[in-house]
Each structure stands twice: as C-alpha cells, then as structure tokens.
Amino acid sequence: RNGDGRAVLRSSVREFLCSEAMHYLGIPTSRAASLVVSDDDVWRDQFYNGNIKKERGAIVLRLAKSWFRIGSLEILAHSGELDLQRRLLDFIIQEHFPSIAMNDSNRYLEFFSTVVSETANLIALWMSVGFAHGVYNTDNFSLLSITIDYGPFGFMEPYDPNFVPNTSDDERRYKIGNQANVGLFNLNKLLQALKPLLDPRQKQLASQILEGYGEHYYIRFTELFKTKLGLLGENEDDNYLIAFLLKVSLFC
C-alpha cells in the first residue's frame, strides 16, 4: 500500500498500553520499554476513506524473547535455502525450546508439536478477553506463540463473532470469530515450510499433530471460560451454558 514504514503517535500509544495490559492479563506478549515522539510528520489515512491527515510520528521500543515468526522459516523454504533454514531452526530450538534435545532426530517434529499446542493456547487466551489481533498473517505470528506486531487490534465489547478491528480488512478474514481458523492456516503454512526437513514418517506424524489443533483449542477455550464462570468439575451442560451466555451478550 506504498507504506513508508513509519508509526504515528496515536498507534504507538495504543501499542504501548495494550501490550502492557495483555502482559498483566497473563497473555504471552511482547512488552513496550519506551515510547519516543519524533519531530517528523507522517501522513495517514486512518480509516482508509480518502481523508488523509498529518500526524506526529513516534517509535516504540518493543522487547520480546524472540522476533522469529512463521514467515522467517517460510521464506527460506520458499527460496530453497534449506541449509540456512536448518541452521536457523536449530538455533531457535536451542535458544527457546530447552525441553527438546538437539541430538533428537525428531526435534523438528517436537518443535512443531509444541508450536501447535501453544498457538491453540494463545488464541484461546485472546478469545477469553475479547482480543482481536486484526492482521495475524504468518509474518505477524510468533514461533514462540506470543502476541507481537500490534497494529489494527481491538477489544470486542458485546460478543460479536464478526467483529473486525482492521478497517482495511474488507473480506473480514481476521474477524474475531475466525481467529482459531487463521491460526490453523498459519500452522499449515509452517508445516509446509518444515516438510523439506522431515522424512516420510515424520511428515505423516506432523499432519496428525496438526489435525489435533482444533481439539487443543477447544479444550483450552472451554477451560478458560469455565474458570471465568466459576464452573467446577465436568458437566455436559457447561458448553451449552458458555455458548448461551455468549449469544446473550451479543444482544446486550
């Protein structure tokens, strides 16, 4: 969209506040260390309606354990740089996945399994607080399953599965009710990137792991909402109650 790569003060303040709020809500996220206002003016069409205005520029210093994303592996696989991809993946595992042994021939499979389950957990946490990321493509999706790249995010007020905080998302791809599905899409892209490094047996097992993503998400989603409602034990009516209350809030 002919972007200039700059941020404006308005969006920088939002990112600073939201990333800190998410941290204290117990949701894995990058943190904001500082916000510096720039002397440069930036031209922005905030609502993509042709009304361009001059805004003050700013820079947020963001901190995270890692900024590697699914796209970091995807681009190397796409260009056929498998040696570099293997070196990068080994570095990521060694630095950030200590439970995986580097001499394990199945380490890439274990890595994928961990990312699948943690991604399901992250998106369930997003849903539990009504957070819509807004543009979580593979380049904005952390391999460590933390919330990064705050842009056109938003918090849902009444429950509305069609809530979209991104005013440029005309297809409503990133609506809040589709977040789990987009997570699955991204994980499938990660699997495609890993496949050149896997043997036939590992590919089959990885596909089975990905098939379990929906169950991981559903279990975690249910756990979080049962906790919010103070429900104890297991009851076959719990899921009905959760769905009923969400539907009721749609009309509040």
DSSP 74-123: HHHHHTT-HHHHHHHHHHHHHHH-TTS-TT-TTHHHHHHHHHHHHHHHHH
Active site residues: 139
Asked if residue 143 lies in contact with residue 237, where contact means CB atoms within 8 angstroms, the answer is: no
SS3 state of residue 166: coil
Whole-angstrom distance, CA of residue 242 vs CA of residue 187: 27
For the chain, counts of helices (H) and of strands (E): 8, 5
* Cα(36)–Cα(62) distance, integer angstroms: 12
